Amino acid sequence: MEHAALLTDGDAMARPLLQRLAGDGNTRWGVDECRVVRSRRHAAHPAPGDRSAWLDVCYRLALQDRDRGTRHALWLYAKAYSQGRSADAFRAALPAACVIPGLGEPVMQMPELDLVVWPLPNDPVMEQLPALLDPVAVRPHLPPAAMGPKGSGIGEISVVRYEPEDHCLARIATPDAATEAAIYGKSYAGEGWRDARDCMHSLWCTGCVDPHAFVVGRPLGSCPALHTVWQAEVRGEPIATRLAGPHAEASLDAVAAALAALHAGPPIAREGSPVAATVALARTWCSALGAADARFAAGSGCTAVSSGARSGAAPSRGDGTRRLSCGPDAVVERPHRAVRLRQFHNRFARTRRRRLRRRPAVP
């Protein structure tokens, strides 16, 4: 199996990861599932002397403790190197990774795969995660709404979403609080939490006055020490889950109305990028994808689509539809519902840009 294919195959990686975590003679731990949550491949042609990783992979392991009859989730962040460079990367990562996880070591090397692996709460960039994911350490940083009347302890902390070196979303159960059953903390690398705080406040205010707006959890403050914003729990079904289910068609109008309310409102980010810069960046990404793998070139909208015709496949239009014939009586398939949603989003984005151009500058 190709190296990249092996590293991005959760079933194939379950055994070597567990062996490195629990040792060769392991009889206590079993893996129910190993899922690749995220993977990112770097430049296909690195510069001479570049010793950085060529592939980042985030795994989520569903572990079974046979001795205690319990199940646990373990998140792993792996960086893949070439030509044995993982040894140097491992030595460089040792001083910063100091929290012993429930299984394994703070940072591990797998030389047979040229990998360096960090089990949560260790992360090579977000040094605040050990405090965020520890019930004792995070308690002094929680907002008052998360604490009970007597300031009693908190419940289980579970990781909902993890983007290595970028952000981590954790659900913190508050069984003794009078107002909140759980709160969410979203922690960022660097100062990204400030924009998240402002965006969350703007979305919450819009939702309070517009019944068509997106429903978001009530903001509960922020913690600069942990680079984290706090948010109340919302009961309901996430949009992504809804659009992937059987009721997606009936939900498109509601989602479109919510997008319209979002784009008609004020800017929610403290700093925005010019449209030209955003387009240029998108073209750069498309070119990089096409250079890394020709399969991405035809659908990216940044290269000619004639390659699909040469191969005998129906050429892609770049907007998610498929041209079935190229003659004067050409027929086009109905766009997928996700494509229609994206078209709604683009139309409202253009409307918002026009309104912003008419808006007078704030002194």
| The pLDDT of residue 187 | 95
Structure tokens at 28: 């206590």
**C-alpha separations of 360 from 94, 170, 199, 275, 278 in Å:** 52, 40, 22, 18, 23
| The pLDDT of residue 166 | 92
Q: What distance separates the 2 farthest-apart alpha carbons in the chain? A: 76
The answer to whether the CB of 324 falls within 8 A of the CB of 332 is: yes
Residues (pLDDT < 50) of the chain are 1, 300, 302-340, 359-363
| The pLDDT of residue 239 | 80
- The CA distance from 278 to 32, in Å, is 42
**C-alpha separations of 240 from 58, 153, 232 in Å:** 20, 33, 19
* Burial of 178 from C-beta contacts in 10 A (0-12 / 13-18 / 19+): exposed
The answer to whether the CB of 222 falls within 8 A of the CB of 228 is: yes
Phi, psi dihedral angles at 65 (to 5 degrees): -90, 105
Instruction: Name the strands in the sheet holding 108-110, side by side, starting at the edge strand that comes first in the sequence.
Output: 29-41, 55-65, 70-80, 115-119, 108-110
| The pLDDT of residue 29 | 86
Q: How many CA atoms lie within 13 A of 103 on its CB side?
A: 23
Helix (H) or strand (E) holding 243: helix 239-243
| The pLDDT of residue 304 | 34
CA geometry: angle 163, 195, 182, nearest 5 deg: 65
Q: Is the pTM of this model over 0.85?
A: no
The answer to whether the CB of 114 falls within 8 A of the CB of 86 is: yes
301: DSSP letter: S
